Each structure stands twice: as C-alpha cells, then as structure tokens.
Amino acid sequence: MTAEKEGAEPGAHAPYVGGASVVALALGIPVLISMLALAIAPGVLQMAQEFGALTAQLVLTVPAMVMIVGAAISGYLSERWGRRAVISACLLVYAIAGVSGGMAPSLTLLVTARVVSGFVGGVLLTSVYAVIGEYFEGGRRESLLGFMSTAASIASLGLLVVMGYVVERFGWRAPFMLYGVSLLLIPCALRGLHRGLSAASVSLSWRPVLRGWTFYLLLTGYTVGMYMMVIQGPFLMAAKGFTAPSTIGQFIGLSSLVGAICSAFYGLMRRWLGFRQMFVLISLAIGLGLPLAAWAASGGWVLLSMIVVGVGIGIIEPTVASELLLRTPEPLHDRAMGVNVAAMFLGQFLNPLLLAPVREAYGIAFAFTAVGLAYLLAAGLFAASIGHRWTVKPQVP
C-alpha cells in the first residue's frame, strides 16, 4: 500500500496522509535517539576501567555533539534522494554502527562507531519531524508530536533501569546489541513513505526557514531550562544531602515521567491553547518549579518541584516544532527541522557553560532561583503579548 493511499484524504498543509507505518516511525525514531546515550550509560563505570573516566564520558556524549552536524545537512540529503531513501539508509547504518561499537577491538573504532551513530541520529530525528509535517496536519499532527516526546521519555526511564541489569550480567559491551532494533523500522519506512521527493513545488530557499529565527532562539533558551534538572539537578540534590545515585535518579526521573505524561496530552491542550498561551504555561511551570526545588526544605517539597517542572519540559519541543512545521513550506521542512534540532542540542550544550560559573560563584540554589525568575519574567512577557483578550484556540479537527 502506498503512502498516498493510507488514511483519509490529504489536507491543505500535508500533501500525504500517513498510516500505521508512519506512526511507527514517528514513535520509534525518538526512542532510537534516546538509546544513543542512555542504552550504554549504565556501563560507563566499567568502560572507564578499561579506557579511563574522561574517555568513557566522551564515548557516551560524542553522538550528541555530532547530531548537530547530521541535523544540519539532513535537508540537503532529503532534497537530493528523498526522505524514504534517507531514512531507510540511516536506519541501516544506525544498526551497523551501533552494534559494531560493542564489538570494536580498539578505542579508535569504538569512537568512530559512535560518531557515525550520532550523525545518522541527527539525520533521522530531523527527517522524522519533516515526515510528520508531510503526512499529518491539525489535531493529528499535534497529538503525534506530543506522543513522540512521550515515547522518548518513557524509553529514557526504561533504558536506565533495564540496561543496568544487562551490564551487571553481561558487561558494558552488551547494551550495544540493542541498537540493532532499528532494522525493525526499515519495513515501515519502505511501506509507509512515498518514493519521490516532496510533493509541493516551491523554490528551495533558506529565506522561509530563517524567518523562524525567533523560534530557534526561543527553543535554545528553553532547552537550557529543560535540562536544569538533568544536568544541574545532581549538584542541587547533593547540596541537600541526597547523595545516593539511586535517590538522585529517582528524583530526576520523576520530572521526566511527568513530562512524558504531559506530552501525551499535548494534542488535547493545543485544541484549546495557542502558541503564546502554551508558552505561558511552560514558563510558569519551569519558573515556579526551579526556585521551589532550590529552597525545598524536605524531600516531599523536592518531589513537588520535580512534578511542577515536568509539566513544562514535556511540551516545549512539540510546541516549537508544531509552529515551525505550520509556518514553513512543506518541501523546506527538512531544513527547518534541521535548524530546530541543532537549536535544541545547542541549548543542552550551553546549560553547563552558562550555569557552572554561576553555581561556583553563588551556589547551586542561587543558580536555580535565577533561572526560574528568568522564566517567570518570560511568562509575563508572553501573557502581555496575548493582550487583554485571553482567547481560547478553537478545536482543530
């Protein structure tokens, strides 16, 4: 069955309508991206015994850095060969590079495998966002973007637990075998995606893509806050006397769990709330949750702060991606989503660079409070931009 015949008639903004195969890609690829780091994270200590601590951390994090490169050229690859061919090829390379990392006889080959995995991961994540813009619109698009974040968050929690047991039983190389599951998605790409290039005909110019620079800047700024709990949270927990890794993991994991739940309801929220209203909610959640975590006097208040922050972090990515897909011509979705993914990882990269000096100079509680106040200010600005009429977004079919 061809992609054009799956589902209902195409709409004004989506030239094709996706069926189950496209949904499987949309949910499966974010899980593959989560696996890049989290599948092997429990084995870092064992890896460090063999290669050294710094090298082990590099092996863990290098895919995230290379993903920016893959995202940046994803648009060129898709425009030249089509999304179907690019996604199918990248899924195959992902499996080969991922599994070979666990069998690499030398550190050089291991790092090379991780670099290749990160590159194709950047291409895959960018391409699947563009595919959603090509095959879905309206409420279906909003819901699927939310479920993408849910799938990634749930996978993150499960990988940390399950792979810990795998490492204990079989060693640090065993989790690399999990990367082979990407092969299961190749039939979905071949069955669900059309063979050609984008259906619409517009000039492939960067100008419509770069018009969204404010959204890319916004995503970078909010990704800094989104990763506060993951990157800076352990320092805050340690300052409060929670030093056991399992306890820290449970606290931080709670915010991810709440984020996963909220992103699952993202499509429902967008039926009633517009873009600015969504960012009022996001800003308030992060702006209130971070100071609450900073000054929490007990574990119960810390848990509450994680819940509040989780409400915001689960809906940042789908909100920005949805707006960019709506504002950018469909053939340029690959370019727009490439910049979108790069902006997201830039925010993750900037978090420790911006916060480490503040933490060292004024303490971790001050850092959390200052960032929280910045987002509260942003909430006020978004609310003011809406004006006196707090309109409700009409339901999208």
Q: Quickly state the pLDDT bin for 200 (edges 50, 70, 90).
A: very low
Residue 6 has pLDDT above 50, yes or no: no
Average pLDDT over residues 344-354: 82
Residue pair 251/282 in contact by the 8 Å Cβ criterion: no
User: What is the pTM (predicted TM-score) of this model?
Assistant: 0.74
Whether residue 248 is found in the same domain as residue 224: yes
Whether residue 153 is found in the same domain as residue 239: no
Please give the residue that has the higher pLDDT: either 281 or 227.
281
Does residue 13 lie in a domain region? Answer: yes
Q: Structural domain tally of the chain?
A: 2
Whether residue 213 is found in the same domain as residue 331: yes
Q: Is 72 exposed, middle or buried (0-12, 13-18, 19+ CB in 10 A)?
A: middle
No. of helices (H) and no. of strands (E), the chain: 17, 0
Smallest Cα–Cα separation from 216: which of 68, 107, 62, 395? Answer: 68
| Residue 165: per-residue pLDDT | 81
Q: Reduced to 3 states, what is the DSSP secondary structure of residue 272?
A: coil
Q: Quickly state the pLDDT bin for 245 (edges 50, 70, 90).
A: low
Average pLDDT over residues 230-238: 79
Which pLDDT tens digit goes with each residue over 85-130?
999 999 999 999 999 998 988 899 999 999 999 999 999 998 998 8
| Residue 18: per-residue pLDDT | 63
Residue 342 has pLDDT above 70, yes or no: yes
Please give the residue that has the higher pLDDT: either 198 or 149.
149
* Residues spanned by the domain of 341: 208-386
Q: Which residues of 212-248 are buried (b: 16+ CB within 10 A; e: fewer)?
A: beebbebbbbbbbbbbbbbbbbbbbbeebebeeeeeb
Residue 41 has pLDDT above 80, yes or no: no
Please give the residue that has the higher pLDDT: either 267 or 157.
267
Which pLDDT tens digit goes with each residue over 299-339?
788 889 989 998 888 889 889 988 998 888 877 887 888 88
| Residue 160: per-residue pLDDT | 67
Residue pair 164/175 in contact by the 8 Å Cβ criterion: no
**R_g of the chain computed on alpha carbons:** 21
Does residue 203 lie in a domain region? Answer: no
Whether residue 117 is found in the same domain as residue 178: yes
Q: How much of the chain is helix, strand and coil, in % rounded to 5?
A: 80, 0, 20
Residue pair 89/189 in contact by the 8 Å Cβ criterion: no
Does residue 291 lie in a domain region? Answer: yes
| Residue 238: per-residue pLDDT | 80
Does residue 393 lie in a domain region? Answer: no
Residue 202 has pLDDT above 80, yes or no: no
Smallest Cα–Cα separation from 83: which of 31, 17, 148, 129? Answer: 129
Residue pair 290/231 in contact by the 8 Å Cβ criterion: no
**What are the CA-CA distances from residue 276 to residues 140, 170, 319, 328, 380 (Å)?**
20, 49, 10, 18, 11
Give the tokens for residue 376: 């509260």
Write the CATH number for 142. Answer: 1.20.1250.20
**CA quadruple 11, 16, 21, 27: dihedral sign:** negative
Does residue 67 lie in a domain region? Answer: yes
Please give the residue that has the higher pLDDT: either 213 or 60.
213
Helix (H) or strand (E) holding 15: none
Q: Is 209 exposed, middle or buried (0-12, 13-18, 19+ CB in 10 A)?
A: buried
Of the residues 173, 196, 219, which one is the last residue of a structural domain?
A: 196
Rounded to the nearest integer, the mean pLDDT of the chain is 83
Of the residues 163, 196, 229, which one is the last residue of a structural domain?
A: 196
Torsion, Cα of 253, 258, 264, 267 (10° steps)? -130
Residue 4 has pLDDT above 60, yes or no: no
Whether residue 181 is found in the same domain as residue 240: no
Which pLDDT tens digit goes with each residue over 271-295?
888 899 999 999 999 999 999 999 9
